[in-house]
Amino acid sequence: MITVYSPATIGNISVGFDTLGLAISPIDNSYFGDIVIIKKCKTFKLKNIGKFSKKLPKILEKNVVWKCWKYFCKKINKKVPMSIILKKNMPIGSGLGSSACSISASLFAMNEFCKNPLSKNELLILMGKLEGKISGNIHFDNVAPCFLGGLQIILQKNNIISQSIPFFQNWIWVIAWPGTKISTLQSRKILPKKYNKQTCIDHSRNLAGFIHASYSMQENLAIKFLKDKIAEPYRIKIIPKFLKTKKIIKKIGAIGFGISGSGPTIFSICNSIKIAKNVSIWLSKNYLKNKKGFVKICKVNNTGTIKIR
């Protein structure tokens, strides 16, 4: 039996649309991601359990784990029977890389179960393909950090998909999911097809500046570049009270604020636990729309997808 855990992720991190992604874990070290368990079996079996399993499609062929199995078997040229349990702990359509979590945990577990026929890079490429099938475009900013951990820059240059970059160890990431859903597909449709020259220049400067500041460990400079010219101006209309919330969170003391992936989860960056707790209290009282919503104080997850049993 193999049990695999995959962490939640924040895609884009404002400045890196489709090119930056971060794996996160709650500071209390609790699990915050999906779990996949694989056992030997004579046929293919899939059981969904966990807090958000009721939201998964009822038809087997529409389940992302089934799709992973189909693509994995095709890739290794062998139909391997197995019994899979998906513990769906991540809310679907939350902007926390829920599908990436299931994809990464499933493919990693399947590969382990079959004694690792695919290399790490082959697995990552397959993960991106599957993510693309769900959200409409191949983007690795959730699957790469989910699989590899840490802060990842997505390069997609020939076979070099993603590389780890340094991050500020003192940054605390407070994430708030209001309890509502936004599909990545829809959230991508509202973005313009073309951007003007000045926007492209500003965006390149911000991303290059952020990467430079991360490598040279200049925290204040990095924060100055943490701006979203590509998605946030268009997505704020589907995220309730975004600008008002941003203003208040900054006033409480957060140094950074943005949309996690395609939303509606938002993230705040704090450089003290006291501020992180105050931000968390305010968001819990004011940002959540229903009882399912949550706020979590997180740090960077450095391990990515791992075998836990």
Span of 35-43, 138-146, 200-208, 295-303 interacting with ligand HSE by CB under 6 A: 138-146
Nearer to ligand HSE among residue 89 and residue 111 (C-beta): 89
- DSSP string spanning 15-30? T-TTTEEEEEEETT--
Contact letters for ligand HSE, residues 85-114 (x by CB under 6 A): ----------x-x-----------------
Q: By the 8 A CB rule, do 3 and 309 touch? A: yes
Q: Binding of ligand HSE at residue 133 (CB under 6 A)?
A: no
Pick from 129, 133, 181, 188: which binds ligand HSE (CB under 6 A)? 188
Residues 6+ apart with CB under 8 A from 93: 181, 182, 183, 184
Contact letters for ligand HSE, residues 226-245 (x by CB under 6 A): -----x--------------
- Maximum pairwise Cα distance, the chain: 59
In this structure, what are the phi and psi dihedrals at residue 155, rounded to the nearest 5 degrees?
-105, -40
Span of 23-31, 45-53, 55-63, 137-145 interacting with ligand HSE by CB under 6 A: 137-145
Q: Which of 306, 32, 304, 305 is closest to 151 using CA atoms? A: 304
In this structure, what are the phi and psi dihedrals at residue 49, rounded to the nearest 5 degrees?
-130, -175
Nearer to ligand HSE among residue 156 and residue 278 (C-beta): 156
Structure tokens of 228?
A: 């979203």
Q: Binding of ligand HSE at residue 139 (CB under 6 A)?
A: yes
CA end-to-end distance (rounded Å), the chain: 8
Nearer to ligand HSE among residue 70 and residue 188 (C-beta): 188
Q: Which residues bind ligand HSE (CB under 6 A)?
A: 11-12, 17-18, 95, 97, 139, 141-142, 184, 187-188, 231, 261-262
